[in-house]
Structure 1
Amino acid sequence: MDSEAVEIDGSVMEGGGQILRVSAALSCITGSSIKITKIRAGRSTPGLRPQHLTGLQLVSDLCSGSLQGASIGSTDISLTPGKTRAGNYTADTQTAGSVCLLLQVALPCALYADAASQLCLKGGTNAEMAPQIDYTVKVFKPIVEKFGVHFDCDIRMRSVGFYPKGGGEVKATVNPIKELTPVTMTERGNITKIYGRAYVAGVLPFKLAKDMSAAAVRTIRKEIKELYINIQPQQEKEKACGNGNGIIIIAESSTGCIFAGSALGKKGVYADKVGIEAAEMLLKNIRHNGCVDEFLQDQLIIFMALAKGTSRIRTGAVTLHTQTAIHIAEQLTQAKFTITKCEDELSRNITYIIECQGSGAVNPNL
């Protein structure tokens, strides 16, 4: 146990909750104590929000840690980790705080436990400013499985809608690993499949789902003419609380790359506009000829940093979230990242290779 806590500036670069998630997870896994200051200093409501606090408490529980300074609005916290133990853990933001962001912080930690863990996560499943649960299951999960990560995700209740109170619930079962294997994703191949779901919940008419789907298909068709595009309109019945609408569209490539575009309905916004927004997001993410979309990019950094060996992932423009995750990963592990620009004759777009010599973190509890 390192007596000197690693000091992390919570206001650097992206300056948001991601710094907390990556720092706390790596503290738990490496056994290093951390002190995070100036948390979300540049945000309109600085300091910890309910979902950040819930995530930190969850990690602290998982690693039998000691967490200081953790309260709503707090800008300084410290975490001293203990032994990571498998178990049944429940985390409830009691708001529309994202369950996907809770999973993002807890999943890496649970991999280094002594047995399988059950995580019951409550909050928003389809919330603004966070991945939708559909994204986590359909895009994030199959790609992190390439590192050797295995988890199941059961959506018990969706919370959909305009600033819902939460009420969503996801049960995740995470299996431990001895060590993560590195991943190479540098060849995109051709897009072979495009599919998705456009949904309405609560009192909203089914026609909205059809309108979102039709508008999304029309938009993609302008650019990708040869593929059948299957976006199913759906009415969420028993397993949803709240009134709302949304859409997620997935594209798969011949080499196993997966991309997505998604959007949530808002009061006063036409359904076709929501469909077009998701379609344009997807198209933007497949135009650059990289192997991951802009949202997966930063979520893979922690796994690259922990894996044993060299990972190489080809992306479009490197996001500030990704640069922030790399900055924290290099502070808390022995991992070394390099980013190289690729000139591609086939495409006008510039891509980048993110390469990482992983730290080879071994699970001491297995």
Structure 2
Amino acid sequence: MEPVTVATTAATEIDGSVMEGGGQILRVSAALSCITGTAIKISKIRAGRSTPGLRPQHLSGLQLVSDLCSGSLQGASIGSTDISLTPGKIQSGNHTADTQTAGSVCLLLQVALPCAVFADASSQLCLKGGTNAEMAPQIDYTVKVFKPIVEKFGVHFDCDIRMRGYYPKGGGEVFVTVNPVKELQPVTMTERGNITKIHGRAFVAGVLPFKLAKDMSAAAVRTIRKEIKELYINIQPLQEKDKACGNGNGIIIIAESSTGCLFAGSALGKKGVYADKIGIEAAEMLLRNIRHNGCVDEFLQDQLIIFMALAKGTSRIRTGAVTLHTQTAIHIAEQLTQAKFTITKCEDELSSNVTYIIECQGSGAANLHL
């Protein structure tokens, strides 16, 4: 019998256990698969984690991407360690994803946003789950830090927080409108300048007392004051009443520099942990991210890799130590696009700071639907 030849290009195989080995590999590869039209096969998903395979939030993220690119998704079930995605045409319009847990809406946005940018018209994403969850950016980070910086690449989206949702139930809802672009611009961020402004929000939601918010805020201000004396620091204590589902408390503090760089420190309350401790944790995180003199904090670093890889031209971003998340995103981006990354160490003669320049010759992905 003659062998039947099927005219499909072999899927690109991705090892889900390499380097950081977590959900980020899924997000970067699924989004790039969708944008480049390359089928992918991811194996050993989250192999080293205490609960290996897909968790509800990873599953809803993959389903969202598959929905966005009218793709076909195999192996997508809770606990699955192997999936394959064959993308079709990217669809604008309305898309909904619901983690049905406190799984992060910000991580859903992370995977969907790059795809929606390459659609033929604007997209409306209704994302449900946790808005302020552990192990993920808080929605306030996404809006106040991530959004203004990705706008430099030409990515424009609006974010309407309809309901905040907290661990363990979630129940948050965020409505995002994304505008498509023809191609992304490269970005250069190499000069930090001085810190000019520090502000933030300390919140309590549900049954928790307002005093907690005031305590978190005061402790954070005290901690920052030890190191940064001259700036006015405004961390608003807030009681969330009507637009919050469940009980929670947390804080996010943002610093802005004279050149438009943004940095954040954040923390969420946990049972039995004093409010002061939460405030101090967030403040110390912020100070750590300001000290290295780079232009992005440790959390923005890896989130920008996919945009650098897709942009048309060379991007250069100065960072502190390069995180494993960032190295992982670069590894996947180079596998699925023509982008080329180089990391150079810069010694600063005047101080003990070591910073790195992440440079990328972008693949110049063009939006063929526009």
Deviation at 1:345, TM superposition (A): 2.0
Contact 2:166–2:245 (CA under 8 A) maintained in structure 1? no
Structure 2 counterparts to residues 200-279 of structure 1, below 5 A: 200-279=204-283
Contact 1:289–1:347 (CA under 8 A) maintained in structure 2? no
Contact 2:130–2:167 (CA under 8 A) maintained in structure 1? no
Contact 1:162–1:267 (CA under 8 A) maintained in structure 2? no
Alpha-carbon displacement from aligned partner over 1:236-272 (angstroms, at most 9, x marks no partner)? 0110011111000000000000000000000000000
Count of residues paired in the alignment: 362
Contact 1:157–1:168 (CA under 8 A) maintained in structure 2? yes
Deviates more, 1:46-55 or 1:340-349: 340-349
Structure 1 stretches of 4+ moved >6 Å:
none
CA distance in 2, matches of 1:76, 1:269: 38
Alpha-carbon displacement from aligned partner over 1:71-124 (angstroms, at most 9, x marks no partner)? 000000000000001010000000010000000000000000000000000000
Alpha-carbon displacement from aligned partner over 1:245-303 (angstroms, at most 9, x marks no partner)? 10000000000000000000000000000000000000000000000000000000000
Contact 2:220–2:283 (CA under 8 A) maintained in structure 1? yes
Match of 1:143 in 2: 149
Contact 2:131–2:166 (CA under 8 A) maintained in structure 1? no
Gaps of 5+ in 1: none
CA distance in 2, matches of 1:233, 1:10: 41
Match of 1:329 in 2: 333
Match of 1:350 in 2: 354
Question: Counterpart of 1:153 in 2: which secondary structure?
Answer: strand
Q: Does 1:60 align with 2:69?
A: no
CA distance in 2, matches of 1:202, 1:165: 13
Contact 2:102–2:166 (CA under 8 A) maintained in structure 1? no
CA distance in 1, matches of 2:110, 2:37: 19
CA distance in 1, matches of 2:89, 2:207: 47
CA distance in 1, matches of 2:299, 2:199: 18
Contact 2:262–2:295 (CA under 8 A) maintained in structure 1? yes
Contact 1:310–1:355 (CA under 8 A) maintained in structure 2? yes
Gaps of 5+ in 2: 1-8
CA distance in 2, matches of 1:241, 1:4: 45
Deviates more, 1:341-350 or 1:303-312: 341-350
Deviation at 1:327, TM superposition (A): 0.1
Alpha-carbon displacement from aligned partner over 1:38-60 (angstroms, at most 9, x marks no partner)? 00000001000000000000000
Contact 2:204–2:249 (CA under 8 A) maintained in structure 1? yes
Match of 2:79 in 1: 73
Match of 1:124 in 2: 130
Contact 2:297–2:320 (CA under 8 A) maintained in structure 1? yes
CA distance in 2, matches of 1:241, 1:121: 15
Distance 1:100 1:162, change over 3 A: closer
Partner residue of 1:311 out of 300, 315, 320: 315
CA distance in 2, matches of 1:289, 1:196: 21
CA distance in 2, matches of 1:30, 1:220: 44
**What is the TM-score when the length of structure 1 is the normalising length?**
0.98
Deviation at 1:346, TM superposition (A): 2.9
Alpha-carbon displacement from aligned partner over 1:113-159 (angstroms, at most 9, x marks no partner)? 0000000000000000000000000000000000000000000000x
Deviation at 1:349, TM superposition (A): 1.1
CA distance in 2, matches of 1:82, 1:243: 41
CA distance in 2, matches of 1:261, 1:339: 25
Question: Counterpart of 2:124 in 1: which secondary structure?
Answer: strand
Deviation at 1:162, TM superposition (A): 6.7
Alpha-carbon displacement from aligned partner over 1:180-211 (angstroms, at most 9, x marks no partner)? 00000000000000000100011111111000
Instruction: Please tell me the root mean square deviation across aligned C-alpha atoms, in Å.
Output: 0.7
